[in-house]
């Protein structure tokens, strides 16, 4: 069982509780293959297809941007994406996702019950990690100490699928699909905390010897990062499949300006983009911070 070193350490400069996760942008090696897979295996809708780029989501909200690089190599031992999570609006919608995976059929890497949420793990066509998740209500959540000290339980797939018994696998996801969190490989837990907790403003939910879970507004985690590939691993090369950027969405320009000012004071790079900016963490993983009306 993992050893929890500490739980629920607030940031000295906390992000607003209304923070939401925005789109995740991935480099893929074959755009046509990936778009077809995300449509058939996960039921995502194509919002825009303009090679070498595609935008996918639930029909209204983009959750995933795919950017093609045919020469991209497979990831190795370096910082970058461990997995990203697609969060379904209900347990029933996660069950329908499971039905769709079974009909595809699609290889599954694992399935867990974390107490806070139920999850199914699988790779995309380039081997990038995906978690399909549905949250329980907050009243049902275990404390961080309980959740992380005991580790996840196996997912009760029979119970999950029983919520949609007799249904055929739907062709598309229902409205309400969002990015739930991202989980990163990094070179240093301490440097990650200095950036994501002390500068960006995520509250620390749980600190384990080799992983940290952080969030805004008391959520179980919007972000996790680990050193499971080893302390001091190099940054992600530019020429591999993997994460191009991940996104947090804020409600107001004042919230955006506050985060930007903290990053500038810390010497982090800032590149303006529409409605916000892109920065990079100490491991050269890009983070996009934007304002989006709720």
pLDDT for the residue 2: 58
Interior angle at CA 247, CA 281 and CA 271, nearest 5: 60
Please give the pLDDT value at position 149. Answer: 74
Element (H, E) at 40: helix 31-40
Q: What's the CA gap between 289 and 276, in Å, rounded?
A: 6
The dihedrals phi and psi of 257, each to the nearest 5 degrees, come to -65, -35
CA 154, CA 272: separation in Å to the nearest integer?
43
- The 10s digit of each residue's pLDDT in 16-70 is 999 999 999 999 999 999 999 999 999 999 999 999 999 999 999 999 999 999 9
Residue 261 falls inside a structural domain = yes
Helix (H, G, I), strand (E, B) or coil at 94: helix
Give the pairing of strands 45-50 and 276-280. Answer: unpaired
- Global confidence as pTM: 0.96
Q: Which of 157, 159, 123 is nearest to 37 (CA)?
A: 123
Distance (Å, whole) CA 184 – CA 221: 12
> Is 144 contained in some domain?
yes
Q: What gap in Å lies between CA 76 and CA 53, rounded to an integer?
A: 24
Per-residue confidence (pLDDT) for residue 5, from 0 to 100:
66
| Residue 1 is assigned to a structural domain of this protein | no
The average pLDDT across 69-90 equals 97
Domain around 100: 6-291
Q: Does the residue 99 lie in any domain?
A: yes
Please give the Cα distance from 114 to 132 (Å, whole number): 13
Enter the DSSP assignment of 102. H
Q: Is residue 1 pLDDT above 50, yes or no?
A: no
Q: Is 109 domain-assigned?
A: yes
Q: Which residues pair with 53 in a beta bridge?
A: 50, 67
Q: How many domains does the chain have?
A: 1
Rounded to an integer, what distance in angstroms lies between the CA atom of residue 119 and that of residue 112?
5
Q: What is the pLDDT of residues 208-261, one digit of tens each?
A: 999 999 999 999 999 999 999 999 999 999 899 999 999 999 999 999 999 999
Query: What CATH number should be reported for the domain holding residue 177?
Result: 3.10.180.10
According to DSSP, residue 161 is labeled H
């Amino acid at each position: 069982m993992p050893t929890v070193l500490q739980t629920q350490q607030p940031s000295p400069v906390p992000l607003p509780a209304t923070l939401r996760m925005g789109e995740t942008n991935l480099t893929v090696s074959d755009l046509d293959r990936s778009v077809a897979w995300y449509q058939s295996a996960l039921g995502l809708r194509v919002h825009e297809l303009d090679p070498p780029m595609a935008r996918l989501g639930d029909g209204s909200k983009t959750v995933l941007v795919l950017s093609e690089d045919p020469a991209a190599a497979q990831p190795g031992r370096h910082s970058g994406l461990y997995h990203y999570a697609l969060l379904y609006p209900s347990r029933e919608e996660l069950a329908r996702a499971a039905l769709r995976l079974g009909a595809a059929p699609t290889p599954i890497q694992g399935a867990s019950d974390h107490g806070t949420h139920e999850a199914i793990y699988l790779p995309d066509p380039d081997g990038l990690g995906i978690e399909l998740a549905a949250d329980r209500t907050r009243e049902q959540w275990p404390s961080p100490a309980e959740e992380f000290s005991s580790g996840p339980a196996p997912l009760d797939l029979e119970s999950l699928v029983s919520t949609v018994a007799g249904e055929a696998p739907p062709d598309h996801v229902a409205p309400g699909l969002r990015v739930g969190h991202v989980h990163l490989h990094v070179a240093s837990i301490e440097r990650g905390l200095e950036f994501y907790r002390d500068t960006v403003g995520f509250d620390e939910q749980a600190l384990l010897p080799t992983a940290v879970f952080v969030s805004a507004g008391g959520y179980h985690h919007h972000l996790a990062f680990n050193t499971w590939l080893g302390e001091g691993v190099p940054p992600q090369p530019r020429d591999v499949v993997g994460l191009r950027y991940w996104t947090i969405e804020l409600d107001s320009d004042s919230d955006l300006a506050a985060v930007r000012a903290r990053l500038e004071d810390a010497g982090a790079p800032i590149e303006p983009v529409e409605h916000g900016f892109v920065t990079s963490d100490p491991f050269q993983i890009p983070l996009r911070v934007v304002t989006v009306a709720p």
